[in-house]
Amino acid sequence: MVKVTRLTKKNVNILRVNIKINKESRIPDYLQLINQIKEGASSNEQEINTLIKDIDNASVILDLERSVVLKALRQLEFQGILYRETDLTFVVNSQAESSRYSARGVSSDKTEVLQTIASLDKGLYPNAFCKISEDFLSGREDYCNLIHSDGAGTKSIVAYLQYKESGDPKVFRGIAQDSIVMNLDDLICSGARSSILISTTINRNAMNCPQEVIRELILGTEDFLESMRTLGINIRSGGGETADVGDLTGTIIVDSCASTILKRQDVIKNEISEDLTILGFSSTGKSTYETAANSGVGSNGLTSARHELLSKFYRGKYPETADLSIDPDLSYCGRWRLEDQLPGTPMTIGSALLSPTRTYAPLIAALSNEFKAEIKGLVHCSGGGQTKCLRFGKNIHFVKDQLFEVPPLFETIRTASNTPWQEMYKTFNMGHRMELYINARHTDSVISLAKSFNIEARIIGFTERAKSNCLTLTKGNQKLFYES
């Protein structure tokens, strides 16, 4: 490519494009460009490719600032619509499937992050659910260490909306639980059962989230940990941090970090093999240790759930809860308010979205006491939903052909947003957030043990040998296929 520093209408490669930027529109120029390239990417791929292979050219043709064109193209690159060939040349990704999820700046498969860390040390047990390292903390050969971070993600925004509407900060107690459980249940899948130390970090906009919010988060943390200890899970808070960072967030971000030491012999290596039964543990209902029925929502997919269900009312009233660089058509495009009824349930939309993430820790601890040596794998279906299992085992075909019925919340999201099943199962847990890989002969005992916690368990599928990891989900007559 010849670099042309100052182009004018006279010396550019004039080409006819159907893209028209309306400078009078309230929609920013770069968003108009994004939307029109998206629309044309499949039908006019050739034409778009000619346009975007030279930024300077495109800038003159479209009569847009170079930085505006670049911003649009880079966002399209992130969305998977375009590839970047060099710093300044792009090309249409002809395999792109338009994903509402990535258009909102959320990558459910985290490919890019996983690539970056692929070169780093994978720890002692590369297939274990969390990274496990040798015992730096206490220096004992037969032990190992685990430190793990995760948080409530954008679920805190739903809590914020509810808080602002109702004035009751207690809604943040559930967020404290969400942040802890997102760590606790990952640890549980690695074999940790006790001696867990946790710390929570709160990044807040102090103007919008005053003292009373912090108080409820701290008290919610302490209460939840206390309830876990009563159930035999030895988890304790070692403190936490609150930062007032109004320039970084308009609302509040709640993250936790958990650390533990465990015996190497207790690690669940998640070396998932063929011919195992997959047991799923329901994410809905009311377990013996919950105070209300759970919608099953967990803490994943909340960006999507919030925008698909909640109405423009919230975008207008609480602009601090929406990314201003996202296409407004993808933001709060639902028909409901928090206090509306969730179809087919006695819950409101708000209480369903805010249902605190269920921990499976008490159940899995009990399970370990009885079947420890028999647990071949445990998968927390968090980010990636039902496709999370693809990261474990080698050359395994995961067949999930008897999934739980889709809980009403997820069904409502799907129908409201017209999201394909393929994407729904990648984003949400869709009915079970924890799965156990075990030999078929133990399934009845496990199902019965789960029942004692009032958690429904069922055989949802099995594993078989394959050429590489893949997954088939059966939904009615439809089969959904995923590769790792």
Q: Contacts with a second copy in 41-80 (CB under 8 A)?
A: 74-75, 77-78
Q: Which of 58, 73, 153, 173 binds a second copy (CB under 8 A)?
A: 153
Considering beta carbons, is residue 51 or 214 the nearer one to a second copy?
214
Stretch near a second copy under the rule CB under 8 A, chosen from 135-143, 334-342, 404-412, 468-476: 135-143
The answer to whether residue 244 forms part of the interface with a second copy (CB under 8 A) is yes
Instruction: Compute CA distances 466 → 296, 391, 472, whole Å.
Output: 31, 14, 12
Stretch that binds a second copy, among 20-28, 244-252, 429-437, 439-447 (CB under 8 A): 244-252
Min dist. Cβ of residue 153 to a second copy (A): 6
Q: How many CA atoms are closer than 13 Å to the CA of 54, on its beta-carbon side? A: 16
Q: How many CB atoms lie within 10 A of CB 339?
A: 12
* Cβ-contact 191, 206 below 8 angstroms: no
DSSP state of 361: H
168 binding a second copy? (CB under 8 A): no
Site string for a second copy, 189-228 (x = CB under 8 A): ------xxxxxxx-x-xxxx-xx--xx--x---x------
Neighbours of 420 (CB within 10 A): 14
> Of 136, 288, 402, 451, which lies in the binding site for a second copy, with binding defined by CB under 8 A?
136
Confirm or reject binding of residue 238 to a second copy (CB under 8 A).
yes
Dist. CA 81–CA 73, nearest whole Å = 9
Our finding on whether 133 is near a second copy (CB under 8 A) is yes
Tell whether residue 147 is a contact of a second copy (CB under 8 A). Answer: yes
Does 120 participate in binding a second copy (rule CB under 8 A)?
Answer: yes
Stretch that binds a second copy, among 136-144, 265-273, 372-380, 384-392 (CB under 8 A): 136-144
- Planar angle of CA 164, 213, 380, nearest 5 degrees: 95
Task: State which residue, 156 or 295, has the beta carbon closest to a second copy.
Answer: 156
**Structure-block tokens of residue 317:** 């009233």
Subset of 76-115 contacting a second copy (CB under 8 A) = 77-78, 104-107, 110, 112-113, 115
What string of DSSP letters covers 27-64? S-HHHHHHHHHHHHHHHTHHHHHHHHT-HHHHHHHHT-
C-alpha span between 235 and 226 (Å, rounded): 8
250 binds a second copy (CB under 8 A): yes
Min dist CB 136 to a second copy, Å, is: 5
The single residue among 33, 171, 257, 278 that binds a second copy, judged by CB under 8 A, is 257
Q: Return the number of the residue (315 or 475) whose C-beta is nearest a second copy.
A: 315
Q: Partners of 483 in the beta sheet? A: 470
Place of tokens 């998968």: 379
Residues between 324 and 383 with contacts to a second copy, criterion CB under 8 A: 324-326
Q: Which residues touch 448 (CB under 8 Å, ≥6 apart)?
A: none
Counting contacts by CB under 8 A, is residue 308 touching a second copy? no
Name residues whose C-beta falls within 8 Å of residue 384's C-beta, 6 or more positions apart in sequence: 108, 109, 110, 390, 391, 426
Q: Judged by CB under 8 A, how many residues of this single chain contact a second copy?
A: 86
Residue 323 contacts a second copy per CB under 8 A = yes
Among 36, 59, 156, 294, binds a second copy (CB under 8 A): 156
Closest CB 270 distance from a second copy, rounded Å: 15
Q: From the list 89, 93, 234, 474, which residue makes contact with a second copy (rule: CB under 8 A)?
A: 234
Residues ≥6 apart with Cβ < 8 Å to 398 = 278, 389, 390, 461, 463, 469, 470, 471, 472
CB atoms within 10 A of CB 369: 11
Q: Dig out the tokens for 425 from the structure.
A: 């199962």
Is 124 among the residues that bind a second copy (CB under 8 A)? no
Instruction: Look up residue 403 and give its DSSP letter.
Output: P
